[in-house]
Amino acid sequence: MYVVFLQKFKLHNLYGYTLWGAPEGDAYLSLDENTPHYLYPQFMLRRRRPVITIIFGSICALAVFLSFKHYFGDGIKENKGKKLVIRKRRDHIDLAIHDSLFIHQFDQIPDRQHEKDDSAQHDFVNIFQQRSRTEAPCVPFQTWRGTIKICTHDPKQDKMISAFVHSFATWEQNFLNATGDVLTRYPDMTFVDLGCNIGAYTLFAASLGNRVVSVDAFDGNLALLAESLRLDSLESNVTLVHNAISDKHENVTLELNTHNVGGSYVKSLKDIGPPQNVVVSIVMDDLIPLIKSRDVFVKMDIEGSELRALQAAKQFLQVLNVKFILMEWVLHKNNPSALEIIKIMTNNGFLPFWDHQQLLPLRVNSYVYWPENVF
């Protein structure tokens, strides 16, 4: 975003005399009709240089202020009996902060203790256990921390992620690198991979030494990921969960897209005929007992179910210190769900930024122009 900001002013630099509020058109001709026309822009720029300098400096100062504004005053301590509770102050957000990386910051958070409900967890959360080795093509996957092995579907069948990995030995490299940059700054942070697919993000996060909780509705993806973890000796870092993520506990069916496994999605049983590929849906709050760290990074790529997931994540967003959420946006940008997602995020004290560097918040009412994957 900073590059775009600079380009904007560089682009208009030669026309500063009109950009900064000077009169337009023939109003300049009355100054000196004998002055050659090609000298007018330079003449006016010299004339208004102090004004331009002041305005440009003010804009730069405002940009810096907005960049750091979200660091101040997010949490207010309240004493409720013997407990210290953080009540989050509603962040002031210009009607248009737009992007995908929602950053959740607290000035101070007391050490939390999970109140585990083991019976509820065991009723719904299905921890995936690999029963046998999977015969699948396993190929090198390149990251800036080295090369690891990743097992894929048949690239002739799965023509999206598996085929891309076979051809280029990477996947969503820019977002993957940004994720790695965050995780290396927070080595104790847990990475929660909702819709992990064959595990490109999971494997990379685990290879950095971070704890990972990976959730997917398709057991075929989890079987491949489990084999990759075994080959890379990363099994101890990762918990695999075989469930769909939604807003309630129910049986749902997985609509499998064989040509793009990553595009598979879940539907309620009442919306279909004879059920096939039935899986139990859980809510994000069910994952809290699996997360042992204070700080959390969430990646959400659950094919349009992001809104339902967030609607049932009240405790998850309040109990855990969720610092970053990376969300797939392509299915929401022209959908009413976009405004609902933005409302939930802002009500929970999150600010969206252009990227994980948190340089400048963007405008919410431009959400239809967000990229397909927002960070």
Question: What pLDDT, in 10s, does the model give residues 262-287?
Answer: 445 455 655 554 556 789 999 999 99
**What is the identity of the amino acid at 197?**
N
Instruction: Give the integer Cα–Cα distance in Å for 341 and 276.
Output: 30
Q: Which CATH class is domain 118-319?
A: alpha beta
- Under 8 Å between Cβ of 354 and 363: no
Quick check: helix, strand or coil at residue 155? Answer: coil
Answer yes or no: is pLDDT of 78 > 50. no
Question: What pLDDT, in 10s, does the model give residues 183-225?
Answer: 999 999 999 999 999 999 999 999 999 999 999 999 999 999 9
User: Tokens representing 234?
Assistant: 């990363």
- Under 8 Å between Cβ of 74 and 89: yes
Instruction: Give the integer Cα–Cα distance in Å for 48 and 196.
Output: 56
At 205 the pLDDT is: 98
Question: What pLDDT, in 10s, does the model give residues 311-365?
Answer: 999 999 999 999 999 887 766 666 787 888 888 988 888 877 767 666 666 667 6
Instruction: Give the integer Cα–Cα distance in Å for 213 and 202.
Output: 8
Please report, for residues 282, 286, 315, 316, the alpha-carbon distance to residue 115 in angstroms, rounded to integers and kept in the order given. Answer: 18, 12, 11, 12
Instruction: Give the integer Cα–Cα distance in Å for 203 and 240.
Output: 12
Instruction: Give the integer Cα–Cα distance in Å for 302 and 264.
Output: 9
User: Tokens representing 156?
Assistant: 């002739």
- In the chain, where the domains are located: 2-69, 118-319
- Under 8 Å between Cβ of 266 and 255: yes
